[in-house]
Chain A
């Protein structure tokens, strides 16, 4: 079964710093990987989607990379701001032809605090 891990569970940085969030997964047979942001009491907002054939995606100050062979993805946030404070989750969409072939597997998230 696919397992997704995010380390660290919590991260606190001063405003303006560049930072990297990590996501690892155990089975490289994935269709895609997605990064989400969740603010307290809110739903999950999609940030970036990387298809299995891609190496990275960029949106504004965010850059996500994918290395399928090593089972790793990183989310790079440049010039962090207090408004970036939230929980960040990654999810992989399982490949294969089984019943669970289209399921998404989520990590437990990294809680980010950007200190003004």
Chain B
């Protein structure tokens, strides 16, 4: 299995631009999670989906952030407009067999907003 695939791996953009991060979960997994990691705040859950349905988006910082999962094999996290404080590593993770399944992470998307 290819694992959780994220793109892009690195993104540098200017403040105010739209950023779209993409994730392909492991085939057969029915739970998908978006996390953000910074030195100051550690690993934070932004949103998670069960069977393509958003279950808890209370971690989404503000209306500038949105996430979609149009099908079982693809999810996006969008930031519009981006701000320098959004600079972080964004991880996508997926798991199977909720609630007992193992969680697997992608390599992350490192976002720098200038």
Enumerate chain A interface residues (CB-CB to B < 8 A).
31-32, 34, 36, 42-46, 49, 51, 89, 91, 93, 95, 99-104, 106, 108-109
A104 vs B100: C-alpha distance in the bound complex, in angstroms?
A: 11
- Give B106's nearest chain A residue, CB to CB: A43
- Give B6's nearest chain A residue, CB to CB: A43
CB atoms of A51 and B106 under 8 A apart: no
Assuming A102-B48, A106-B43, is B99 touching A95 (CB within 8 A)? Answer: yes
CB atoms of A31 and B99 under 8 A apart: yes
- Give A51's nearest chain B residue, CB to CB: B100
DSSP class of A's interface residues: helix, strand, loop or mixed?
A: strand
CB atoms of A102 and B102 under 8 A apart: no
Assuming A43-B108, A99-B56, A102-B55, is B102 touching A34 (CB within 8 A)? Answer: yes
- Give B59's nearest chain A residue, CB to CB: A103
CB atoms of B56 and A45 under 8 A apart: no
Query: Which chain B residues border A46 with CB–CB below 8 Å?
Result: 102-105
* 4 closest A-B pairs by CB: A31-B99, A44-B105, A43-B105, A43-B107
Within 8 A of A (CB), among B85-113: 91, 93, 98-100, 102-108
Assuming A31-B99, A31-B100, is B55 touching A99 (CB within 8 A)? Answer: yes
Query: Which chain A residues border B104 with CB–CB below 8 Å?
Result: 46
A37 vs B42: C-alpha distance in the bound complex, in angstroms?
A: 14
Query: Which chain A residues border B50 with CB–CB below 8 Å?
Result: 102
A16 vs B100: C-alpha distance in the bound complex, in angstroms?
A: 34
- Give B43's nearest chain A residue, CB to CB: A106
Query: Which chain B residues border A34 with CB–CB below 8 Å?
Result: 102-103
CB atoms of A100 and B108 under 8 A apart: no
Within 8 A of A (CB), among B16-75: 31, 33, 42-43, 45, 48, 50, 55-56
- Give A48's nearest chain B residue, CB to CB: B102
A91 vs B98: C-alpha distance in the bound complex, in angstroms?
A: 15
A69 to chain B, nearest CB (A): 19
Query: Which chain A residues border B108 with CB–CB below 8 Å?
Result: 42-43
